[in-house]
Amino acid sequence: MNVSNATPTAASPSVNTPPATTSSAVQPHAIALLRVSLGVMALAHGLLKVFVFTLPGTVGYFESLGLPGFLAYLTILGELGGGLALILGIYTRWISLAMIPLLLGATSIHLSNGWMFSNEGGGWEFPLFWSVALLVQAGLGGGSFILNRRFR
């Protein structure tokens, strides 16, 4: 048999295909890494608003943008609660979807600042990327290391 003319079959996978056991064993952990990273980022942003900018300062900032002050509290609650839920793996798909409007709101606030988040006032690429990552997380689910399988 000429090896160059051989076609891969189920018994002989192609050279570029990793073994199914490797990818299927690693994938839940990769999904969990994304989930926990998103949760830590959300928690950090919520805590930043509470301890650095302070509640009155965050409310004032939202009002300076023409937004109602109560949205600052809802945003903080969404970031803190959503971040903790993601870290613990509680209702990952729903929490990820629920957080997307927060990040799209942040994206819209930063649109006039330009593309890069290092611009004065922060750009819009980071909150938009974060929105996309949350959408991906919602599609992937919780992965491994979740608090309880019932909460997937």
Q: Tens of pLDDT along 58-117?
A: 999 999 999 999 999 999 999 999 999 999 999 999 999 999 999 999 999 999 998 887
Can you tell me the mean pLDDT for 9-27?
A: 65
* pLDDT greater at residue 151 or residue 54: 54
DSSP 8-state class, residue 119 = S
DSSP 8-state class, residue 121 = T
Determine what percent of the chain falls in helix, strand and coil, rounding each to the nearest 5: 70, 0, 30
Contact 140, 152 (CB under 8 A): no
pTM summary value: 0.81
Contact 103, 56 (CB under 8 A): no
